[in-house]
Structure 1
Amino acid sequence: MVLYKLLSVTDLTTNTVDVISLTDIGSTGKKIETLGVPVRALNMRGGIGNLLLVLKLATWLKRSKPDIIQTWMYHADLLGGIAAKFAGGIPLAWGIHNSNLNPALSKRSTIWTAKLCAMFSHWLPSKIVCVSDGARNAHEAIGYSAEKMTLIPNGIDTAAFKPNRDCRISVRQELGIGRNTILIGLIARFDPQKDHHSFIKAAKLLSSFYPKAHFLLCGDGIDWENENLVSWIDNEGLRRCFHLLGLRDDIPRLTAALDIASSSSFGESFSLTLGEAMAC
């Protein structure tokens, strides 16, 4: 969703932008298409076939001849970097948002891909953009090129994220709860790193002190059809006070309605949602 936000404020009359997903287009890709930005998908699924798809990516890059490529996340950094070299050495900037590579908490494939990125960081990217000192330090420690690192903190759109009492009232009306009900939120897609399970356990503890508090969750995969998420909520007996809103377009409104915004993620180097909440 960060990419969508960036593109929504980009002057597309003077800048030509293409977006390529390693997997599928997904809901975010469809939103980006509404801006008039073309989105293509490689539909990678794992296995040796990915090598052929890297060549396909390189062919796309040769044809479009971009001035610069930016990749986010380890697999995209590595494969996008290799494709950029095959396409003629197009300038490449890697993006790093993660600060936790603990083997006990991260997938083995993620750890190994990050280590490969560290090895190739001295050759593939022109720049490595980190959103925090924590991200930079964590990746320098595993061998990333310190010379190529640069820090660009996450930015907050304070025109969109700001205090708004009307939002507080309207969101509570939508949820069917009282105007003075304490509302605690976690805005994040359903992903192991976001650790919704810990948030739900914390909600159980808090409910013993504040039984009238309610909890708002939203993001991709956050709905009552998510069996794992729903089972965690039901196991704690909290269905009555949880609101699962799915993927939303009105995040500034929901954020302004919260009494407490939280993050249970174990890998955020600079939580964008907490920064946005602080502006509200």
Structure 2
Amino acid sequence: MERLILTSCADSPWVNHEVVSLGGLGVIGPRLQQAGISVHCLSLDRLPWQLSTWWSLWRLLRQERATTVVQTWMYHADLLGGLLARLAGQKRVVWNVRQTGLSAADISARTRCLVRCAAWLSNWLPRMIVTNAKAAIDVHVNVGYASSRFTVIPNGFDTNAFKRSDPARRQWRRSLGLTDAEFLIGLVARLDPQKDHSTFLRMAALVAKAMPQARFLLAGRGVLEDAELTLSISELGLNGRMLRLDQQSDVASLMSALDLFCLSSRAEGFPNVLGEAMACEIPCVSTRCGDSAQLIQDGARLAPIEDASALANCVLSVAAMPPEARHALGQAQRQRIKAEFALPDVWQRYLELYQSLCKS
């Protein structure tokens, strides 16, 4: 959302944005405010909820109804924000759903309840439902969402920010204690059941036996302090081969340190991190999660979800390529991201949707 809004400010300065957070400012809020965007915080993550909070939002939504589109993101905002917007007289409500994992292993019971409620209201409340992944449509229609409301707009990528940097590569690898001869396979993802770090670890154990020079990197919120992850690394014999980092503010810089990016998720929508790695010219392999196949488009680099052996074979096949071939693969990936998923082009698709709603 942040990158989309900032792209809009640059490309369509006549479009006015006001952001409403169900919680607090978080990390993104101050950055949006610094860019001149109005950000309103409801603090609904704190109890008790205040009636004045809802009243303030209702008054905000009552303004400029003739030219306003209310775009909500994720299930809680789709339901709560969408309902309040309609009560305030807003007719142009656009939902956004961004994942394919709706099982008990993927989301909480409360969120599943919200999904069921949203499905029941989906034929009336939103004018359109934007999803970033074709794979998400069938998943949501199967739980009751109205199929006629869906449209697909993929994620966009800032290829000026996400690009390979040889100085960053040297700096990161030096700080990680890696030599040029070592082959670094990485996963950048928060610790979450949908990201399936277990499959990545089992893949790593198989690759480590076949590639003495292979090293592995996990980076993301939660991977440093998790005791279960630490135990699994030890039991799989990966101590000394597995590097771990906390959440990083400069993912593009870290990507440059990798020789191969491996996404092990069992559920995704349109996997942002996969496109970011591709934009940085890092060869990628992935499970067939969400729309990963739409990005990679090479069956030899895709494995069934939760199949560590197949994923290891994908990794080994790319690792066995001559360095020049891997470099050419990385360059081709970046060109595809620039040609088909450039952020300004994605913003134009949102803008066309919003304009069509304002005309009707």
Indicate the TM-score class for this superposition, using the shorter chain for normalisation: 0.7 to 0.9
Structure-2 residue corresponding to 1:252 = 252
- 1:148 alignment partner in structure 2: 149
Alignment TM-score, normalising by the size of structure 2: 0.67
Q: Structure 1's 264 and 211: CA in aligned 2 closer, same or farther, altered over 3 A? A: same
SS at match of 2:44: coil
Gaps of 5+ in 2: 282-360
Quote the residue 1:218 is aligned against.
219
User: Greater CA radius of gyration, 1 or 2?
Assistant: 2
- Corresponding letter in the other structure for 2:74: M
**Larger CA deviation: 117-126 vs 179-188:** 179-188
**Identical residues among aligned pairs (%):** 35
Change (3 A) 1:196 1:39: farther
Provide closer, same or farther for how the CA distance between residues 33 and 197 of structure 1 changes in structure 2, counting only shifts above 3 A. Answer: farther
Are the aligned partners of 1:72 and 1:94 in contact in 2 as well (CA < 8 Å)? yes
Tell me which moved more, 182-191 or 192-201.
192-201
C-alpha distance in 2 between matches for 1:51 and 1:215: 50
Number of the residue aligned with 1:28: 28
Partner AA of 1:121 in structure 2: S
> What is the correspondence of 1:1-280 to structure 2 with a 5 Å cutoff?
3-11=1-9, 13-45=13-45, 49=49, 54=54, 57-62=57-62, 67-219=68-220, 221-222=221-222, 224-279=224-279, 280=281
Cα distance in 1 between the residues matched to 2:235 and 2:55: 47
Which residue identity lines up with residue 5 of structure 2 in the other structure?
Answer: L
**Is the contact between residue 222 and residue 245 of structure 1 (CA under 8 Å) also seen in structure 2?**
no
Question: Is the CA contact (8 Å cut-off) linking 1:22 and 1:76 kept in structure 2?
Answer: yes
Change (3 A) 1:175 1:83: same
Q: Return closer, same or farther for 1:131/1:211 CA change in 2, 3 Å cut-off.
A: same
TM-score w.r.t. the length of structure 1 is 0.83
Structure 2 Cα separation of the partners of residues 274 and 111 of structure 1: 26
Q: Is the 8 A contact 1:54 1:79 kept in 2?
A: no
The RMSD of aligned alpha carbons is 3.0
Q: Which has the higher helix share?
A: 2
- Structure 1: distance between partners of 2:275 and 2:83: 34
SS of equivalent residue, structure 1 residue 10: helix
- The total of aligned residue pairs comes to 277
List per-residue Cα deviations over 1:158-205 (Å, max 9, x = no partner). 333344444432321232211232111212223332222332333233
Seen in structure 2, the aligned counterparts of structure 1 residues 93 and 168 have a Cα distance that, compared at 3 Å, is: same
C-alpha distance in 2, partners of 1:247/1:31? 18
Point out where structure 1 has 5 or more consecutive residues left out of the alignment.
none
